[in-house]
Amino acid sequence: MIPRPRLLRHLSGSYELTSGAIVSGPAELAGAVLAALPGLDLRPGDAGAIDLRLDPDLGPEAYQLVVGSRGVEITAGGRAGAFYAGQTLHQLLPDGSYRFSPGASWSVPGVRVEDGPRYSWRGLHVDVARHFFPKREILRLIDLMAVHKLNRLHLHLVDDQGWRVESRAYPLLHEVASHRPRTASNYYHEPESYDDLPHGGYYTLDDLAEMAAYARAREVVIVPEIDVPGHASAILAAYPSLGPTGEPFEVLDRWGISPAILSPLPPTVEFLTTIFDELIGALGETPYFHIGGDEVVLDHWAASPEIDAYRESLGMSSMGPLHAWFLRRLADVLAERGSRAVVWDEAFVSGELRHDTVVMPWRGMEVGRRAAAAGHDVVATPVFPLYFDYAEAASPDEPMAIGDTITVADVAAFVPAPDGWPDEERSRIIGAQAQLWTERIPDARTLDYRTWPRACALAEVTWSGSSGADFTERLEAHLGRLDALGVEYRPSDGPRPWQRRRPHRPGVIPVAAVMERLDHSTHDAESTRPSV
């Protein structure tokens, strides 16, 4: 099984689970099991093959599962626990159960499972701003996350290269900022070249509502990101008055850092408050809302007499604290709406944030440890080994990537909260999340290749706390399930011929060089993410 359960004991006997079998128990729990086993044609009823009980003392995501000759018994701490029990039950069945097989029956081996997650945040981040992925691909990804008990989908909805959600209050965002005439195609540190193909797209608010409901039914929480105040070229292409100078920008067609930045003045807060209301109104309950804060170039703030006077009026000695103040003000707005702000680690380094702001330390776990020591909850997101846009081998057989190398084994060996940290700091690590930045992930097939099976290792680490000694063996068996689900994952011995695409150039950005660079930048709020 992947992820590995806390306890798994094999029992004598088995049970034949047939199509149309009855699931009995509390309606909410029964609905969760039906959602976890969509292809088995199970039905709710008063007494049946799968008997469900509620025990809140287990914890909301925990469960117990017993399979014997008389049927299946599930005790769950809540709806989530019942859903994950259903996913574990599914993994006890043959790979063919993941295919549409009407009328089939499956032999379930006798087992006792006692299980629950080590971390509450088990996430994937997808950058839909650099390359847009239609709603159907997001729904499919949610399904695959659910199979692996991953429960946070972080959608990077805006960047210099595009704005990806409808705004009825500010329609130029989706009319102007959602598309660009071309996209950079050059390798890193080579002369710029372009594909001259228009690229764009956005989700309507109805799309967003549908995706959120679909995710909730599968115990996945969508975490929207509106990345501010930097990475603002697309926003300023639509509404240049929101910038410090009012100068026009274009939606960026190349990668890298732009000087485009939103003004920190009250009209920008009013604009973003309206955007937050639109998105939360569509998503429904939104426990987390990411506001970015990374890679901010403050030059235009410093050059603006109006912003400089505003800084002085707030009693701040430099622009760095103003950056943190701006994000703190947005976090206050979100808190009024029942959402906790999430930021990248530069925001923490810039100055004091709201105490309940969640920090994502992409530049390494040392800055994450500092954030934890300061009392912030932390989601581990370091470049190594959780940037899945990096190649899995330093080989031209790999498709084009920003750098190399991050392997399945690297992910499986990751420890989000090292044993050597004080208990108080370790308790602040609430989970981990892999990042799929899409500068070089142009389509769904490449997204599959980059995500799987590395995300299987992430699921193991975040659910079980670490990978088991037999992880490699279990992963090889698990690939049959991915085959049945139609996932175009990277095979363990390298890409298939059609997966090679445009060849990778090994050594462009080796991970070791990136980590050395980041080691020297963890105190610098304006250091750059090496995905350029």
Q: Any idea which residues carry the catalytic annotation? A: 159, 231, 295
Distance CA 531, CA 228 (A): 18
Contact 144, 485 (CB under 8 A): yes
Distance CA 147, CA 81 (A): 13
Residue 131 per-residue DSSP state: S
For 346-388, the DSSP string reads: HHHHHS---TT-EEE-TT-HHHHHHHHHTT--EEE--HHHHBT
User: Burial level of 102, CB count in 10 A (0-12/13-18/19+)?
Assistant: exposed
Strands (E) located in 248-347: 288-292, 340-344
Task: Give buried/exposed letters for 422-458 (b at 16+ CB in 10 A, else e).
Answer: eeebeebbbbbbbbbbbbbbbebebbbbbbbbbbbbb
| The two structure tokens encoding residue 85 | 């029990």
Q: Around 505, how many Cα atoms within 13 Å sit in the side-chain half-sphere?
A: 9
For residue 387, give the nearest of 413, 410, 367, 368 by alpha carbon.
410
Distance CA 88, CA 91 (A): 5
Contact 410, 461 (CB under 8 A): no
* Single-letter residue type at 224: P
Task: Give buried/exposed letters for 47-56 (b at 16+ CB in 10 A, else e).
Answer: ebbbbbebee
Q: How far is CA 214 from CA 42, 86, 125, 136, 444, in A?
A: 19, 17, 17, 11, 19
Distance CA 265, CA 129 (A): 25
CA angle 85, 87, 90 (to 5 degrees): 110
